[in-house]
Structure 1
């Protein structure tokens, strides 16, 4: 975060602004994401204009990111993947409607995949590379058992990141811009939920682009 971290914001101020922040929303990840973006662009995020203007932009960004992530604790959209489980290192989600989702316990009463239903959110199957990540409508991983009503997180382009990006046609643009390859986030969308630089960075991408 050259010119930003340690100058406009330090770790103590970040903790004051984001007291409940959890991985991947760390101060170090934020600074890394700023460096990552600015090393690839002539127009530097949070480094243009007067000091007052820069502080204003930084404050506005963090305010939006806090809203999008429920106070820097949720790297994934709740309705798509707030109710989740990890099995053998893989994350699985229970997609839910707002009526069936409990925002206090983050559990879903009725999976949208019940009764052999397909999950059709965040995917335009006819939008294919180079305009969109390849995707298809999904069904539950298991009809019974531990993963009944669940879908594999890496199969879905739901909202992720400090300012949430969603849909296969947006993921491919972010992937190309942020990593130099259109395949990175198409092949593993969960990178935007787990890698600090990418979780913060996709928010910066949306903010600036």
Structure 2
């Protein structure tokens, strides 16, 4: 795959002047010399640009979208020829954690999505980073039955997620905003908020979350890193500020599971978290329950 990208970039350098420097093929040098991103200029998959002191590679064709706003279209790029994520879980360990996962939930989709939230599992010391990665994956494991389910099983719930009284309504239809993805994004207001944050048309095309692995992972990371949900803090802040795994459960499912709401569900999440931290070689820390 990397060789294919190298060929694409080399061809683009010849066919699209000013997009990449001639002779600077992917992985061929340790010093980046790519040209600055230009707003409104058309970029094709494989183009590499410099933006605000960092480098980005186009994951999809786009008409000059910002690399740090429209993160679906761009990935951070390093001069050794690869995307960056800093994620402490290797692909082999990911596969060990989810032996029965649906092929839709790819490791590459996850690492691509992480570029939208570079602080995720990359804040604090190594133990904190690994605990956050384990906490995220443990909750994802619970929400999807081990990364098996892409969308909500109970179709009877689908109409309850449309709130037509909101100004933007339900343009994709009254039954379109059911749970999807690793943290089961649901309700039209969440699709609207995630759409705005990620620069994706999720309100009008919520099916992207069940069709594109990176998009699906990005919605989960959007919630994890930016939403307090039913709690008082984001799940990311709970882990990096040593508030404990229990606070991530509260953020995701609040009183439905916490305060004795459903102790068996809480126990299942904690069990997965203990297992994943063990695989990563760190202790789970305190405050595991909510």
Range class of TM-score, shorter chain:
0.5 to 0.7
Q: Which has the higher contact order (CA 8 A, sep 6+)?
A: 1
Which range moves more in the overlay, 196-205 or 29-38? 29-38
- Contact (CA 8 Å) 1:134, 1:168: kept in 2 or not? no
- Would you say 1:168 and 2:188 are equivalent positions? yes
Structure 1 consecutive aligned stretches of length 4 or more whose deviation exceeds 2 Å? 1-5, 132-137
User: How many Å apart are 1:136 and its aligned residue?
Assistant: 5.5
Q: In the alignment, what sits opposite 2:107?
A: 27
CA contact (8 A) 2:152 2:178 kept: yes
Q: Tell me if 1:205 matches 2:225.
A: no
CA distance in 2, matches of 1:33, 1:71: 19
Aligned partners of 2:112 and 2:187: how far apart in 1?
A: 25
- Alpha-carbon spacing, 1:77–1:53, altered in 2? closer, same or farther (3 Å): same
Structure 1 gaps of 5+ residues are 39-43, 81-94, 97-118, 138-154
Q: Offset of 1:124 from its aligned partner?
A: 0.8
| TM-score under structure 1 length normalisation | 0.64
2:93 corresponding residue in structure 1: 13
Shift in CA distance, 135/193, structure 1 to aligned 2, threshold 3 Å: closer
Q: Are the equivalent residues in 2 in contact too, given 1:162–1:200 (CA < 8 A)? A: yes
Q: Note closer, same or farther for the CA distance 1:158–1:53 as it changes in structure 2 (3 Å cut).
A: same
RMSD: 1.9
**Could you list the runs of 5+ residues in structure 2 that have no partner in the other structure?**
1-82, 227-290
> In the alignment, does 2:165 pair up with 1:126?
yes
Corresponding position: 1:4 with 2:79: no
Give, in whole Å, the separation in 1 of the partners of 2:151 and 2:179.
6
Q: Deviations over 1:4-48 (max 9, x none)?
A: 34xx1111101100111113211111111101333xxxxx11111
Confirm or deny that 1:79 pairs with 2:154: yes
The 8 Å contact of residues 172 and 205 in structure 2, kept in 1 or not, is answered as no
Q: Give secondary structure in 1 for the equivalent of 2:159.
A: coil
Partner of 2:131: 56
Which of 190, 194, 201 is the matching residue for 2:211?
194
The equivalent of 2:284 in structure 1 is none
Deviation at 1:168, TM superposition (A): 0.6
d(CA) in 2 for partners of 1:136 and 1:18?
33
Residues 133 and 23 (structure 1 numbering): CA distance in 2 closer, same or farther, change over 3 Å?
Answer: farther
Q: Looking at CA atoms only, which structure, 1 or 2, has the larger radius of gyration? A: 2
